[in-house]
Amino acid sequence: MSPGVDQTTGNPPASTPRLPREAWILALVAACVAIGYGIVAPAIPDFALEFGVSRTLAALVVTAFAGMRIVSALFSGRLVDRFGETRVLITGIALAAVTSGAAGIAQDYAQLLILRGLGGVGSAMFTVSAVVLLIRTSPPQMRGRANSVFFGGFLFGGIVGPVVGGPLAAISLRLPFFIYGALLVLATLVAFVAFRRLPPPVFVAAPSDDGSIGPASIGSMLRLPAYRAAIGASLGTGWLAFGVRFSLIPLFVGEGLALGAEWSGIGLGVFAVANALALLPSGRWVDRVGRKPLMIAGTALATGGMGILIAPADLTLFLLAMTVAGAGAGMLAVAPAAIVADVAPARSGGAVAFFQMATDVGAMIGPLAASALVDSGGWGSTPAAGYSTGFALTTAVLAIGVLLAVRMPETRPA
């Protein structure tokens, strides 16, 4: 039998599909967005304080961005279903670019607050439409790898941005906003050139449970155990990786471990390195082994990492916790998104929007709830005891994700 022929069937072997170009382009756009956000984030509270407001109002500028992402997520999903991914994606980045640049010339606090809120709307439009576009253009057997490349762009930007943002803010608190706006303009141009000729989605209408035709409702999606598991993992990831990690961990290092700020940076760096090392391999594992094993492993590692911090404060345990939780979060950047792609209908804007919204909700509620327990004193008299209580709550939230992952069916296409 000639080489290159499957000796069991006599047919030529099926060619391995290549990662779609859209995944690489979206990763580049995501990197621009994340670098810009990382540059501007350290400057936002101090810039707001220059208008003579309280620290609470300064923090509200940060919260306004995240809050508007939550409020506009489902609306963004409906826009995607109505107008298509590419139009919403380009419009969303352009809106974020204009409002970010304008924030740099804001003349009072109200202008800054409104512009950052509108930037959150643009960010939600971009995130939802990008994930839907990734779902549409990625072969089912490569969804994990496509997601790992896309979220790898965010991870790269999230590491580079803050490194550049600090020195820029030292020069001028307005300068980071202009750099952020310029990077978003670049991202808009890349998306426009790359996707302007992409064929619009062709939806095959299928009746739902009640006989109507159109996108599936959030209620019907939540009846799917796999989708519930993805939502649980998304909530836990937001709570840990985007909430508690940046709010509670630095305070714990200073008060619980009684160490300097450099150790906070080291701990967050360990988390980021473990996250990056787990991210790309997870894409391959999700496609080859299945979604469920990675969901169980990711949620278990994230839960275990936070569980370590419930123990009496110790530097070695802290670094171990950051390593374990970072690896789990890396897995959860890939597996839940692949599950949503597997189970979402053709018109999946609403399903993706709700999935993304769960991350933002976790990122907002997590720091508030955990910090409230820390302030209450926890179950002891030392500062570290209060933090143990906050980490225990985070562990409990992540443990729900483990239970949902164990009960979900495998969704990877055969």
Q: Say which CATH number the domain at 93 has.
A: 1.20.1250.20
Same domain, 188 and 225: no
Same domain, 323 and 397: yes
Same domain, 145 and 238: no
Same domain, 269 and 377: yes
Alpha helices in 240-290 (DSSP H): 245-251, 261-288
Contacts of 207-215 with C-beta under 8 Å, sequence gap 24+, read 214/347, 215/81, 215/345, 215/347, 215/348, 215/349, 215/350, 215/351
Is 253 within the bounds of a domain? yes
Structural domain including 316 reads 218-407
Same domain, 171 and 223: no
pLDDT number for residue 182: 95
Same domain, 99 and 191: yes
Same domain, 232 and 331: yes
Same domain, 37 and 164: yes
Is 7 within the bounds of a domain? no
Contacts of 223 (CB under 8 A, 6+ apart): none
Determine the Cα–Cα distance for residues 49 and 60; give it in Å rounded to an integer: 11
Contacts of 138 (CB under 8 A, 6+ apart): 19, 20, 22, 23, 146, 147, 341
Instruction: Name the phi and psi angles at 213, rounded to 5.
Output: -115, 130
DSSP 3-state assignment of 342?
A: helix
pLDDT number for residue 346: 61
Instruction: Name the phi and psi angles at 344, rounded to 5.
Output: -70, 150
**Count of structural domains, the chain:** 2
pLDDT number for residue 204: 42
Is 16 within the bounds of a domain? no
Is 341 within the bounds of a domain? yes
Same domain, 234 and 366: yes
Give the residue carrying structure tokens 């107008």. 83
Determine the Cα–Cα distance for residues 203 and 278; give it in Å rounded to an integer: 35
Is 14 within the bounds of a domain? no
Is 6 within the bounds of a domain? no
- At position 143, the amino acid (one-letter code) is R
Same domain, 182 and 295: no
In order along its 414 residues, the chain shows pLDDT tens digits of 444 444 444 444 445 567 888 999 999 999 999 898 888 877 888 888 889 888 778 878 878 888 899 999 999 999 998 888 999 999 999 999 999 999 999 999 999 999 999 999 999 999 999 999 998 888 888 888 998 999 888 888 877 887 787 788 888 889 999 999 999 999 999 999 998 877 766 544 444 444 444 566 788 899 999 999 999 999 999 999 888 887 788 888 888 898 887 898 888 889 989 998 998 899 999 999 999 999 999 999 999 999 999 998 899 999 999 999 999 999 999 999 999 989 886 667 888 999 999 999 998 898 888 888 888 765 555 666 778 888 999 999 999 999 999 999 999 987
User: Which has the closest alpha carbon to 267: 202, 317, 210, 311?
Assistant: 317
254-266 as b/e, with b when 16 or more CB fall inside 10 Å? ebbbebeeebbeb
pLDDT number for residue 99: 95
Is 413 within the bounds of a domain? no
Same domain, 242 and 134: no
Same domain, 225 and 182: no
Is 222 within the bounds of a domain? yes
| Predicted model pTM | 0.82
